[in-house]
Structure 1
Amino acid sequence: MYKKEQYLYRKEKNVKAIVRNYVKEDFDELIQIQKESFPPPFPSDLWWNEEQLNNHITLFPEGALCVEIDGVLAGSITGLLVGFNPESPKHTWEEITDSGYIKTHNKNGNTLYIVDICIRPSFRKLDLGKLLMQSMYEAVIHLNLDRLLGGGRMPGYHKYANELTPEQYIEKVVNGEIHDQVISFLLRCGRTPLMLVPGYLEDEESHHYGLLMEWKNPFKSGC
């Protein structure tokens, strides 16, 4: 089981953050955080339900993490293990995560796949998303996996879709010419682009595209 404490700076004082595995008693609050983090037009049927959350803590508790600030649940991140082949990387979010139910979890997989990350809007200035992602990197190393992988939404793309192709948009985001709420965040977390996937997720803002981004285990060569 995972637990770490770290002090973060907010409003001229330090506050303690606790990252830990989430448990059944957290389910109601985790669902509420999803509602706050992904408001419409994000599809409400993609918010967590209790069956999904129960699968997370049962099938792969190491990949079910949350963060508390002063005893308040402020965000979560969820993953599963998959057998990933870089030679055939294309997939959809629904296929690889079993629509968030993670019955596709492979205990012998070589890759930690991020299913979801969300931070309560009122806590977003604390870099909690980066803290949770770092905790998953630690899990990659602890489990001796090849990489962390996941598909990032491109919620800013709809503003540029009439003038830029998805490839051009991502190039400008990576070069720092355009800020994208999700992709720019993942770049700051140390993730690197792998490939664009059309139809990755039902998401009108992203025109249903997702950008696969990875973090390779620095202690493993040739992965």
Structure 2
Amino acid sequence: MNKHLYVWHNGKPVEAIIRNYSERDYEGLIEAQRLSFPPPFPEELLWNKEQLGEHVGRFREGALCAEVDGNIVGSMTGLIVDIGEYGHDHSWEAVTDNGYIRNHRPDGNTLYVVDICVIPAYRKTGIGKWLMQSMYETVVQMRLERLLGGGRMPGYQAKSQEATPQQYVEKVLAGEWTDPVISFLLRCGRVPVGIAKNYLEDEESLNHAVIMEWRNPFRTEAAK
């Protein structure tokens, strides 16, 4: 994939590229993660070069980055799984092989999102939506059933005395509360389908995640 487009940054259009990442991008990808996930997010969960090598080697179609002026400003990574082997109450470590994706199954039915990030300076520019849209296109091109992934719930810690994780998601859906990650995924067309209780070490989400889906609209029931 190599897609040229414009996004709005500081009130004016700037050219961006959505493309597959490669070995030459590793340092930029790691730095983008550092900027995107500051403490208290665990530093050991940021990408390392071995993981990135597995992404490129095993499923290049699911290894996307966003570039502006020669700099990596965001990325998104996926793998293919048979989601029936995991169910909705799974952990990030189990379904992504702790980010190494050695469990990638070309014959699976679901493109699972390992990670998406956009550096703070380029949030609300459209970069995140374009990365997600590009991954939807991969789902369609590969004739998969769905895109699926766990969304962090960083606003949940502050509301945990008032609501269960499910109630928290329901209030976000009702417009009573907002959550930066869940709300972003909703705007991208993702739909909540479950809660994972011990998804990832994540203090702000109290280790919870909402599993959110985008179904391939070009798949018919007969084709599934």
Q: What does 1:174-189 correspond to in 2, within 5 Å? A: 174-189=173-188
1:151 alignment partner in structure 2: 150
Deviation at 1:87, TM superposition (A): 9.4
2:88 alignment partner in structure 1: 89
SS at match of 1:215: strand
Equivalent-residue separation in structure 2 for 1:129 and 1:70 (angstroms): 17
2:31 alignment partner in structure 1: 32
Equivalent-residue separation in structure 2 for 1:41 and 1:63 (angstroms): 27
Equivalent-residue separation in structure 2 for 1:52 and 1:112 (angstroms): 18
Contact 2:36/2:120, CA 8 A, preserved across alignment: yes
Aligned-pair identity in percent equals 54
2:127 alignment partner in structure 1: 128
Of stretches 124-133 and 52-61 in structure 1, the one that deviates more from structure 2 is: 124-133
Write the letter of the residue equivalent to 1:112: L
1:219 alignment partner in structure 2: 218
Equivalent-residue separation in structure 2 for 1:23 and 1:4 (angstroms): 15
- Coordinate RMSD, CA, aligned: 1.3
SS at match of 1:206: coil
Gaps of 5+ in 1: none
Contact 2:8/2:126, CA 8 A, preserved across alignment: no
Equivalent-residue separation in structure 2 for 1:218 and 1:152 (angstroms): 21
Q: What does 1:57-136 correspond to in 2, within 5 Å? A: 57-85=56-84, 88-136=87-135
Per the normalisation by structure 1, the TM-score is: 0.96
Write the letter of the residue equivalent to 2:64: L
Deviation readout 1:145-179 (Å, 9 max, x if unpaired): 00000000100000101111111110011112111
Write the letter of the residue equivalent to 2:202: D
SS at match of 1:200: coil
1:198 aligns with 2:197: yes
2:162 alignment partner in structure 1: 163
Equivalent-residue separation in structure 1 for 2:181 and 2:217 (angstroms): 24
Of stretches 77-86 and 96-105 in structure 1, the one that deviates more from structure 2 is: 77-86
Deviation readout 1:104-157 (Å, 9 max, x if unpaired): 100111110000001111111312111100000000000000000000010000
Write the letter of the residue equivalent to 1:172: K
Write the letter of the residue equivalent to 1:113: Y
Does the C-alpha gap of structure 1 residues 86 and 57 become closer, same or farther in structure 2, counting only changes over 3 Å?
closer
Equivalent-residue separation in structure 2 for 1:18 and 1:62 (angstroms): 15
